[in-house]
Amino acid sequence: MSVFTKEQLQALALVFLRLRAAAYHSIGLVFFGLYCLLVGILILRSTFLPRILGVLMVLGGLSYVLFLSPPLAGSLQPYILIFPAVGQISLTLWLLAIGVNVQRWKEQASTA
């Protein structure tokens, strides 16, 4: 590292910090969007939770997947984050307050 000057090393560190932030927003949110999309599909197919929660999670997952195109996601950023927030908050509150439908759970467990 003695080849680089102090300013060059600081500039290189800044480049890697910005690259890490860009990778988090682009790659991390896309994978989390795929997770939300799959959870939403599972909720839609199950009978333990209301289907509206599944729809909200699917919309949230699709919103996160829009980060595959950073220019599009950047231009729509304040608006596309509404769906994930509503979907994740409503699912969390539903599970904390009400939970799953135990009767349907036992019915499907007995048939399987």
Tell me the DSSP string of 30-92.
Answer: HHHHHHHHHHHHHHHH-SSS-HHHHHHHHHHHHHHHGGGSHHHHHHHHHHHTHHHHHHHHHHH
Q: Give the start-to-end residue ranges of the domains of the chain.
A: 29-111
Distance CA 70, CA 72 (A): 5
State yes or no: pLDDT of 27 exceeds 90.
no
The model carries a pTM of 0.77
Token pair 């009767």 in the structure block, residue: 103
The mean pLDDT of 50-61, rounded to a whole number, is 96
High-pLDDT (> 70) share of the chain, %: 99
* Residue (of 57, 56, 51) closest to 33 by Cα position: 57
The mean pLDDT of 92-106, rounded to a whole number, is 89
Check if the beta carbon of residue 91 is closer than 8 Å to that of residue 77.
no
